[in-house]
Structures are given as C-alpha cells and as structure tokens.
Amino acid sequence: MTSSLVTQWQDLVARAPSAGARRLDRDAERLYAATRRALAEDPVVRRELVLAFAAAGDAPLARWLAGAVLPPGLGASTDPEGFRAHPEVRLSATELPIAVGLALSTDHELVADPAFRADPLGWTGSWIGGTPSVPRRAPDAWGPPVGSDGRALHFVLQVDLATEAVNQGLDRWPSTGLPDTGVLQVFHDLRSDGWDDASAGAWLVRLVDDVDDMVLADAAAVDRITPLNPQLVATCPSPAGSRLAGERAERHARAARWLDLVAVRANATDPDVHALTPWHEAYEPVAPVPRLRGFGRARGDHPELLATLALRLPLAPGDRHVLLLDADLDLGPLPPGAGGAGAEARRRHLEVWMRARDLTAGRFASTWAVVRTGA
C-alpha cells in the first residue's frame, strides 16, 4: 500500500506542470483521501510516508506529501477540530484544548534595515527592548514608570494592538481576547521574580490609547529596538502538564511541538526556518517565540503558580486566570535567594497573568508577573 501511494504521489508531481488544473485537483484530492485513510489505519504506513516526505527535502514531492502527512498547523487556529482529527493527532478537545495567541516573532528583515532605524514608527509599532513610544504632544513630560521601590522600570516590549487587529483580520482577532485599540506596553524591574511579597509593584502593563501621533521616548535607544512581526497562531497546553500517558501523551507532545514550529514558520521574514518537522527523526525543537494570550508553557497544575495567582489575583465566582504574556527574555542573573543561584540562574522566562474579567474590562493595572528559571 505504502509504496503504491508514494509512487502515485511521485507520478502526480511529475504530471503537475502539464496537467489540467481540474484533473490535477481531482487526482490530488483522491490521493489525499487515500493517504489519510492509510495513515489512520496503519502506523507502518505513516512511518514510510514520513520517510518519503523527509527524503524529498525541498523537492515538490515534499510539499505535496506535507498536505497529507502533516496536520494543518497553519489552519489550527481557525479549524481546531480539523487539527485534532488528523491521524497523527487524534485527540479530543479535552485532551488537547487549543487557544489562539499572538506570536511575537522577530522581523529579521527590519532588524538591520537603515530605513527602519531612521524611523521605526514609520514601519511598525511593535518591538522588544530599547524604548517605548509616547504621544508626541507631551514627550518631555514622559518619564519611565517606577516600581514600588521608587526605581525606574525597564521597558520590555510593546505591541500595536490596533494595527494587528486589522493585520490579523478583524473576524479572527476577538479569539485572542485582546483589545483592538491602543498600544500594549510591558515594563519590569528585571530583578523581582514574582513569587513573594517583595515583588508587588515590580512591573507595569499599560494600554496607551493616544496612538495617532507617537514618537520614541528615547531616540538614542533606537539601536536597541528589535522589531516584531506578530502572527496569529494556535497554542495548546505544555506537555509537561498533561495527564495523558502512553501513545496519547506522545501525540500531545508531538502536536505541541508542531504548533510551536508553526508559530515560527508563520513568520515569513525568519531566514532560519528549516524544513524539518516533529515527524522527522532529526527534528530539534525550535525556541518558542514570545506570545500574547493563548496557552503558554506553564504547567496547568503547577501548584506554586496556582497558589501565587490565587493569593495575588483572587477570583470572584465565574472568573478565571488567563495568560497575557509568555516570553523568553534576557532579564539578567537572579540575585542570591531569589529563586535561583545567583548569576548561574538566568532569569529568562517571563509570564504575565491577569483575571479574565480584568482583561475584558481593560484593567491592565491588575496583573501579576512571575519569572521562571526553567522552561
């Protein structure tokens, strides 16, 4: 069965340049259906098809086989049932919940573009590091926000939600739960880890509504700005928090890796996107991109996190905690006694949480940030 299917795919690819569009579409759909049936019925067939896909490299055969062998990752945010029903996933909505998030991929094309450096706001309103944008009408009155200890907070990132709501599609944007106006900005003191009383007031999340005429708060910091190319992607809970076992746990882990890869591939400006997938033996996990909303990498049953959120952001009946930001950032070494071993423990994983009702109401002052020293 498998060798026959591969041969049929090879024949289809060979005929594609000269075949009529209607005939090609009909034959392709027939082969897709046959391949999916084979994938669902026989793991040996799946293995051999994946090997054929891997061996094809960047050849046209790989692109055709990908549509049959791999789950529809790019469409997972609009058709989660289709993703879960794929023979390589086959998990229920309870076993593999899917939520839409905004992946904050780096825009590599703009990083070193002199035109961008000369006028960042002429290109985008979303970036990591450097300096925030502020209303032009009162730039001199702006100063960096300060924490509860009176020290200035460091600018982490900002995302132009108004622009992204249009860029990503006004019909799809509500699925993120984010506002469709303003620029969301995040600040942090880069010292506190969020696990104790001393962390209160060590960060700030704010929505800047007056975005029609903005300037950089510190024009000299333009070289430290890394522009973003946000993309709507599907997310799922981390396999680390899954209660599944055996084959279903393996499927969950593979599906989670695939969705992480899709988040990277969705950013067409990234030159370092390889052709390997979690279905290749040589696959190496990609570094997750920062994201707003969706599922992060936190364990859903992480007792310390759940206890911290219950204490810092107590819930009213019917409310729940939602992840606002999940990002790997270079926040420097942890001080001794702050959840790590001094300079050896890099404070690299930042999560910002809030209540669902606060997010709906735009109350971004009511957030809690935690920093993890592990993934």
CA nearest to 233, candidates 272, 170, 180, 291: 291
- Enter the DSSP assignment of 324: E
Of 351 and 40, more confident: 351
**pLDDT recorded at residue 61:** 85
- Higher-confidence position of 45 and 139: 45
Sign of CA dihedral 200, 201, 202, 207: positive
Sequence length of the chain is: 375
Domain parsing of the chain, residue ranges: 1-69, 101-232+290-372
340 compared with 195, residue with greater pLDDT: 195
Asked whether residue 140 carries a pLDDT value surpassing 50, the answer given is yes
pLDDT in tens, 175-207: 999 999 999 999 998 888 888 877 888 999 999
Residue 115: Cβ within 10 Å count: 10
pTM recorded for the entire structure: 0.85
More confident residue, 287 or 159: 159
Please tell me the distance from the alpha carbon of residue 157 to that of residue 188, in angstroms, as a whole number.
10
Write down the pLDDT at residue 179.
Answer: 96
* Domain range 101-232+290-372, its CATH number among 1.20.120, 3.10.129, 1.10.10, 2.30.320: 2.30.320
pLDDT of residue 186: 96
Cα 317 to the center of its chain, rounded Å:
30
Mean pLDDT of 333-342: 45
- Contact present, 120 and 216 (Cβ < 8 Å): yes
The rounded distance, in Å, linking the Cα atoms of 88 and 86 is 5
Nearest to 369 by CA among 198, 206, 241, 195: 195
Q: How many angstroms separate the first and last alpha carbons of the chain?
A: 42
At 288 the pLDDT is: 78
Average pLDDT over residues 335-359: 67
pLDDT exceeds cutoff 50 at 38:
yes
Most confident of 12-26, 79-93, 160-174, 259-273: 160-174
Average of per-residue pLDDT across 125-143: 81
pLDDT higher than 80, residue 372 = no
Higher pLDDT, 274 or 290: 290
Average pLDDT, integer, range 211-216: 84
Neighbours of 73 (CB within 10 A): 22
Over range 323-337, report the average pLDDT. Answer: 68
Residue 134 in 3-state DSSP? Answer: strand
Alpha-carbon span 300 to 297, nearest angstrom: 9
For the cut 80, the answer to whether the pLDDT of residue 333 exceeds it is no
pLDDT-based confidence at residue 73 (cuts at 50, 70, 90)? confident
pLDDT at 18 over 70: yes
C-alpha 287/C-alpha 260 separation (Å) is 8
- Predicted confidence at residue 301, as pLDDT, reads 60
- What whole-number percentage of the chain has pLDDT above 90? 40
Q: How many CA atoms lie within 13 A of 323 on its CB side?
A: 26
pLDDT attached to residue 278: 79
- How large is the average pLDDT for residues 97-113? 91
Query: Do 144 and 155 contact (CB within 8 A), yes or no?
Result: yes
The pLDDT of residue 341: 43
Amino acid (1-letter code) at residue 132: P
Which letter does DSSP use for residue 95 in this model? T
Compute CA 45 distance to the chain's CA centroid, rounded to the nearest angstrom: 32
Average pLDDT across the chain, whole number: 85
pLDDT at 142: 66
